[in-house]
């Protein structure tokens, strides 16, 4: 490798565009990167200049390969810049440096034991690389450009199909909890804009009139070791991500429960997050599969007999976006639920037997859609695996490229 690439370090180019080294996009302008890191302040003279066509070794290269540079600019001095010493087809080496054979070779040059591991270029420089004739490098690169573009297109189509299936599931849930499952039922105006028309025999009530009891919880002192890991499931906002919650990431002890403001929520109760960044995306709501303690960011609802927990949970899921608009508020540092607005939320309530039928209907159709999504995800994984094998085979000469 040392006969093809050199460790290149040119600094004092603070006026150049600031770039980010990513595993998925290569080396690109920071403005292209979602959730990009904090922009550096102060003197950028120590940053390394990198040209389009160069390669960068990052702290994640040990698992993802070397990164191809798509733009001239500067990157953090923590990265190693590799510049070709002879004329090569950089697109060929772009694929080679992402192949699993080369990534396996990188493991021999890893130094350090932390999660982000350094690649020692003095060690890596002694690794052997295949060097096809320049014309063959070009043919292999063009072959892979064409084939990987077709594979990526197929993956994109299947990802779009998954999004459409999820959208279809959301529409199905919304329709079931606002119109029921009888297509011939007579409708009436609900009087609530986001609900629209509902079956004539349904009621519209404020949520506070169908709640038997509501309460929040608390967190035992983290300084008291005997307050924790005592076998009592303890719910925080990180746990409320499934329809039915049977286990949590942490547990507390009976002593921790008694010596804190944490409360036990019964099996079958509805719980939801009242304050969290998760509210930017979804109104996270679950049904407890067993008795659990809850923390201060969780609200527990025990509903009256006229409203099934399962139906209410699906009512929220089917109208998540509209309900968040009604009840979400921006606090100083994080979004939260306006509990007054939440308890005054008007919801459509069918008879209890019809609620059971709607829940069964939603579960049946959701199961079929979940199966279809799972099959699409398996197909995507197979395409990604095929793409990886194809690249590896082409850059190591295992297949003939015309």
For residue 50, the domain's CATH number is 3.90.220
Helices (H), 34-133: 61-64, 90-96, 100-106, 121-124
Q: What is the largest CA-CA distance in the chain?
A: 81
Residue 398, in any domain of the structure = no
Q: For the CA atoms of 301, 305, 311, 315, what is the dihedral angle to 10 degrees?
A: -60
Q: 105 and 209: one domain?
A: no
Q: Are 216 and 338 in a shared domain?
A: yes
Q: What is the pLDDT of residue 43?
A: 77
Boundary-marking domain end, from 309, 329, 349: 349
Quick check: helix, strand or coil at residue 353? helix
Region 319-329 average pLDDT: 87
Does any domain span residue 60?
yes
Q: Hey, what are 163's tokens? A: 């999004």
Q: Is residue 385 part of a domain?
A: no
Say if residue 215 is in the same domain as residue 312: yes
Residues 236 and 122 in one domain: no
The string of DSSP codes covering 119-141 is: E-HHHHTTS------HHHHHHHH
Residue position matching structure tokens 């733009």: 71
Q: Which residues 6+ apart lie within 8 Å of 24 measured at CB?
A: none
pLDDT given at position 381: 97
Please give the Cα distance from 192 to 323 (Å, whole number): 12
Q: Is 40 among the domain residues? A: yes
CATH number at residue 258: 3.90.220.20
pLDDT of residue 108: 81
- 314 touches 296 (CB < 8 A): no
In the predicted model, is pLDDT for residue 331 greater than 90? Answer: no
Q: Is residue 226 part of a domain?
A: yes
Q: What is the radius of gyration, based on Cα positions, of the chain?
A: 28
Number of compact structural domains in the chain? 2
Give a yes or no: residue 165 inside a domain. no
231 lies in a domain?
yes
Same domain, 119 and 209: no
Q: Which domain holds residue 218?
A: 203-349
Q: 384: pLDDT confidence band, cut at 50, 70 and 90? A: very high
Q: What is the pLDDT of residue 39?
A: 59
Indicate the pTM of the whole model. 0.80
Determine, yes or no, domain membership for 67.
Answer: yes
> For 117-139, what is each residue's pLDDT tens digit?
678 899 899 999 999 999 999 99
Which residues, 6+ apart, have CB-to-CB distance to 98 below 8 Å? 64, 65, 66, 391
First and final C-alpha spacing in the chain: 27
Q: Which helix (H) or strand (E) holds 106?
A: helix 100-106
Whether the predicted pLDDT of 328 surpasses 90: no
Give the H/E segment covering residue 80: strand 80-84
d(CA 370, CA 121): 46
**Final residue belonging to a domain, choices 67, 101, 131:** 131
Query: Which of 131, 157, 185 lies at the terminal end of a domain, its last residue?
Result: 131
State the average pLDDT over residues 200-206.
95
Instruction: Name the band, by pLDDT with cuts 50, 70 and 90, for residue 256.
Output: very high
Which H or E run contains 381?
helix 352-395
């Amino acid at each position: 490798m040392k006969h093809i690439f050199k460790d290149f370090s040119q600094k004092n180019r603070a006026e150049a565009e600031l770039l980010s080294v990513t595993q998925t996009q290569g080396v690109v302008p920071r403005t292209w990167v979602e959730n990009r890191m904090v922009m550096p302040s102060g003197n950028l003279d120590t940053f390394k200049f990198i040209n389009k066509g160069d390669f960068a070794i990052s702290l994640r290269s040990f698992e993802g390969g070397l990164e191809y540079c798509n733009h001239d600019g500067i990157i953090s001095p923590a990265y190693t810049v590799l510049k070709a010493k002879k004329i090569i087809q950089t697109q060929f080496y772009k694929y080679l440096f992402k192949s699993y054979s080369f990534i396996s070779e990188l493991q021999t040059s890893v130094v350090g034991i932390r999660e982000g591991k350094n690649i020692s270029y003095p060690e890596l420089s002694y690794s052997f690389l295949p060097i096809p004739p320049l014309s063959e490098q070009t043919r292999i690169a063009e072959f892979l450009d064409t084939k990987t573009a077709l594979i990526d297109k197929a993956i994109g189509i299947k990802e779009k199909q998954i999004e459409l299936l999820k959208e279809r599931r959301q529409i199905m849930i919304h329709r079931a909890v606002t119109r029921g499952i009888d297509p011939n039922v007579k409708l009436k105006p609900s009087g609530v804009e986001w609900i629209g028309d509902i079956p004539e025999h349904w009621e519209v009530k404020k949520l506070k009139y169908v709640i038997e009891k509501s309460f929040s919880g608390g967190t035992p002192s983290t300084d008291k070791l005997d307050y924790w890991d005592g076998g009592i499931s303890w719910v925080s906002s990180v746990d409320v991500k499934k329809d039915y919650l049977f286990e949590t990431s942490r547990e507390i002890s009976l002593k921790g429960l008694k010596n804190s403001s944490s409360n036990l929520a019964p099996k079958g109760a509805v719980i939801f997050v009242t304050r969290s960044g998760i509210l930017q995306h979804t109104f996270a709501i679950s049904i407890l599969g067993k008795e659990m303690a809850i923390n201060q960011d969780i609200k527990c609802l025990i509903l009256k007999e006229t409203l099934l927990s399962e139906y209410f949970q699906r009512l929220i899921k089917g109208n998540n976006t509209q309900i968040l608009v009604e009840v979400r508020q921006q606090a100083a540092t994080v979004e939260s639920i306006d509990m007054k607005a939440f308890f005054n939320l008007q919801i459509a309530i069918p008879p209890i037997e019809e609620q059971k039928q709607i829940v069964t209907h939603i579960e049946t159709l959701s199961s079929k859609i979940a199966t279809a999504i799972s099959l699409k995800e398996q197909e995507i994984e197979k395409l990604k695996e095929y793409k990886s094998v194809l690249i590896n085979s082409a850059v190591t000469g295992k297949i003939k490229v015309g």
